[in-house]
C-alpha cells in the first residue's frame, strides 16, 4: 500500500481525536452517549472547538480521499502523490492543534495548505 493510501486512513481517523477531546477532555459535564449531538451542542470553549474541528475533519476527508484516488488512478508520479498526501496530513494535524489552541489565523493558513494539497492531487493526474 502506498504512503498516500496510508494517509487516507490517517485522515479518516484523525477527526476521532478531536471527537475524544470534545467528549472527554474539554467538558465540565459528564459525556452523555444517549444523545451525543445535543451534548456537544451545549459545550463551549475547548470542547466546542474540538467538536467543530472534528466536523471540519469529516468535511475535508472526501475531497482528500478522492484526490489521492484520482491521482493514483491516473498514474501520477507516486513520490509527488505521497508528498502531497503527507503535507495534507501535517496540515490537518496543525489545523487541529491551532483549533484546539484557539489560534484562528494559523488555523486558516493550515486549512488553506490542506485544501491546496487536495487541488494539487487532482492536478497531478492531469
**pLDDT tens string 62-119:** 999 999 999 999 999 999 999 999 999 999 999 999 999 999 999 999 999 999 999 9
CA distance 108 to 111: 5
The angle subtended at Cα 51 by Cα 114 and Cα 92, nearest 5°, is: 15
Q: Which three cell numbers stand for residue 94?
A: 496543525
pLDDT at 27: 66
> By percentage, how much of the chain surpasses pLDDT 70?
98
Mean pLDDT of all residues in the chain? 93
pLDDT at 126: 84
Residue 13 above 90 pLDDT?
A: yes
DSSP state of 26: S
pLDDT of residue 22: 86
Global pTM value: 0.93
Q: Of residues 35 and 122, which shows the higher confidence score?
A: 122
In a 3-state reduction of DSSP, which class is residue 77?
A: coil
What is the fold, at CATH topology level, of the domain defined by 3-124? 1.20.120
Overall residue count recorded for the chain in this entry: 126
Return the closest-CA partner of residue 60 out of 24, 99, 30. 99
What is the distance, to the nearest Å, from the Cα of residue 120 to the centroid of all Cα atoms in its chain? 17
- Alpha-carbon distance of 35 to 113, in angstroms, equals 35
Poorest-confidence range of 6-10, 46-50, 99-103, 108-112?
46-50
Amino acid at each position: 500500500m502506498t504512503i498516500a493510501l496510508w494517509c487516507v486512513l490517517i485522515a479518516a481517523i484523525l477527526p476521532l481525536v478531536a471527537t475524544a477531546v470534545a467528549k472527554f477532555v474539554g467538558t465540565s459535564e459528564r459525556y452523555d452517549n444517549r444523545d451525543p449531538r445535543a451534548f456537544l451542542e451545549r459545550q463551549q470553549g475547548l470542547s466546542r472547538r474540538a467538536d467543530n474541528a472534528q466536523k471540519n475533519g469529516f468535511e475535508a476527508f472526501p475531497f482528500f480521499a478522492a484526490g489521492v484516488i484520482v491521482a493514483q488512478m491516473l498514474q501520477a508520479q507516486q513520490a509527488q502523490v505521497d508528498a502531497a498526501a503527507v503535507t495534507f496530513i501535517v496540515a490537518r494535524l496543525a489545523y487541529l492543534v491551532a483549533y484546539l489552541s484557539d489560534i484562528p489565523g494559523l488555523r486558516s493558513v493550515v486549512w488553506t495548505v490542506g485544501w491546496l494539497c487536495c487541488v494539487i492531487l487532482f492536478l497531478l493526474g492531469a
